[in-house]
Amino acid sequence: MERILDVKNLEIDFKTYAGTVHAIRDVDFHLNKGETLAIVGESGSGKSVTVRTLMGLLASNAKIVGGSVDFEGKDIVQMSEKELTHLRGNDIAMIFQDPMTSLDPTMTIGKQVAEPLRLHTKISEKAALAEAVRVLELVGITNAKARLKDYPHQFSGGQRQRIVIAIAIINNPKILIADEPTTALDVTIQAQILELLKEVQEKIDTSIIFITHDLGVVAGIADRVAVMYAGKIIEYGQVDEIFYNAQHPYTWGLLEAMPTLETKSDRLYAIPGTPPNLINPPAGDAFAARNEFALAIDLQQEPPFFQVSPTHAAATWLLDPQAPKVTLPPEIQRRHQIWEEKFANKGVNA
């Protein structure tokens, strides 16, 4: 499969009053052409920081300490501000979480949607507005031509997110980054926006990086999933591998903590404790303190990635041949059973 983006050994620090926060600690991942990669993890795990790096949008107190981001043969980390300006909103575009704050309230939506086109190409205002109408119709804004002169407050939350998507796709970007694009929306509107993203992806043939903490959303939209914890990716794989054959105890915890509509038991599983402080990241596996399956070695030495299949790997000592066999939580057993029945024998992943 052709890779459109390759992130290698990315390390990012933030200078704060309390000390240096090691927000991203050696992150490796890639994005295949035409796929949707979901990055999941809780607040502070580094998922937003990671994708902001891809667009050169880091805060002023952030420093890329090491690593590279290869996009079409060029390293984004080394790019000049001029090169980044050319990249942003053109080759790589972003859809933000809150459609209330990511639109300019004082600018007509026609101008806002046409803006990336006017910035990146030599095009007359008239032609750009005509193009804006086309994209707005593509994202499902009815009567788009008549609404070009309307302002954001005249649209509902769902419509605003559609407009934000229109702005992101007007230049047919090669990569679309969606940072929790549906978190602020109601579930019925969320369903519409997710459907729209799938349609748009097909129509403009783009690759998507989707950030969320909602595993339900991931199950519906992702081809592959990367799970982040404390500034690291700790497990990645195809969507079925993550949901039915997860290997890292943190991924188990996330899956267990989601109440499904079938959840009957009296208590909900909760991952105990809170994520570690990344000013002084713990030695060994950062999740060890919250992990009921932690081994002695987890506290001393960081686990390497163990390959589960050609597309699936997890950084946990439990996959080491010497590790003791553990009894999986019931919910994970149920999922692994689905894996055995449905996927394991299909020969794709021996």
Partner 1 sequence: MSEPEVLLSIRNLVQTFNPGKRNEVKAIQDISFDIYKGETLGLVGESGSGKTTTGRSLIRLYQPTSGEIMYAGNDIAKLKHGSKAMLDFRRKVQMIFQDPYASLDPRMKVQDIIAEGIDVHHLAKSEQDREQQVQALLEEVGLNASHATRYPHEFSGGQRQRIGIARALAVQPEFIIADEPISALDVSIQAQVVNLLKDIQDRQGLTYLFIAHDLSMVKYISDRIAVMHYGRLVELASADEVYNHPLHPYTQSLLSAIPVPDPSLERHRKPIAYSAAEAEDDGKQRDLVEVYPGHFVFASEDEVAGYQNAAKESHGTQSVSQEQ
Q: How far is the CB of 25 from partner 1 (least distance, A)?
A: 19
Q: How far is the CB of 185 from partner 1 (least distance, A)?
A: 8
Rule CB under 8 A: is residue 328 a binding residue for partner 1?
Answer: no
For residue 260, with 0-12 CB atoms within 10 Å meaning exposed, 13-18 middle and 19 or more buried, which class applies?
exposed
- Give the residue among 204, 223, 236 at the shortest CA–CA distance from 309: 236
From 194, 197, 295, 332, residue interacting with partner 1 (rule: CB under 8 A): 194
Report whether 54 contacts 24 (CB < 8 A).
no
* Rounded Cα gap, residues 12 and 26, in angstroms: 8
Q: How far is the CB of 223 from partner 1 (least distance, A)?
A: 10
DSSP state of 318: G
Binding mask 41-80 for partner 1 (x = CB under 8 A): -xx-------------------------------------
Binding mask 235-274 for partner 1 (x = CB under 8 A): ----xx--xx--------xxx-xxxxx-x--xxxxxxx-x
Q: How far is the CB of 22 from partner 1 (least distance, A)?
A: 18
Q: How far is the CB of 278 from partner 1 (least distance, A)?
A: 13
Q: How far is the CB of 261 from partner 1 (least distance, A)?
A: 6
H/E run at residue 204? helix 187-204
Question: Which residue carries 């992943």 as its tokens?
Answer: 349
Q: How far is the CB of 307 from partner 1 (least distance, A)?
A: 21
Compute CA distances 233 → 8, 218, 230, whole Å: 12, 16, 8
Rule CB under 8 A: is residue 209 a binding residue for partner 1?
Answer: no
DSSP state of 299: G
Subset of residues 210 to 229 that bind partner 1, contact rule: CB under 8 A:
213-220
Nearer to partner 1, 273 or 310 (CB): 273
- Give the residue among 86, 40, 14, 10 at the shortest CA–CA distance from 178: 40
Collect all residues with Cβ–Cβ distance below 8 Å to 148 and sequence separation of at least 6.
Answer: 108, 109, 110, 129, 132, 133, 136
Nearer to partner 1, 71 or 287 (CB): 287
Q: Tell me which amino acid residue 25 is.
A: R
SS3 content of the chain, % helix, strand, coil (to 5): 35, 25, 40
Subset of residues 151 to 190 that bind partner 1, contact rule: CB under 8 A:
157, 186-190
From 191, 308, 319, 328, residue interacting with partner 1 (rule: CB under 8 A): 191
Q: How far is the CB of 225 from partner 1 (least distance, A)?
A: 10
Compute CA distances 153 → 54, 104, 182, 192, 264, whole Å: 30, 10, 18, 20, 42
From 3, 15, 149, 342, residue interacting with partner 1 (rule: CB under 8 A): 342
Nearer to partner 1, 94 or 225 (CB): 225
Q: Name the residues that contact partner 1, by CB under 8 A.
A: 42-43, 157, 186-192, 194-195, 213-220, 239-240, 243-244, 253-255, 257-261, 263, 266-272, 274, 338, 342
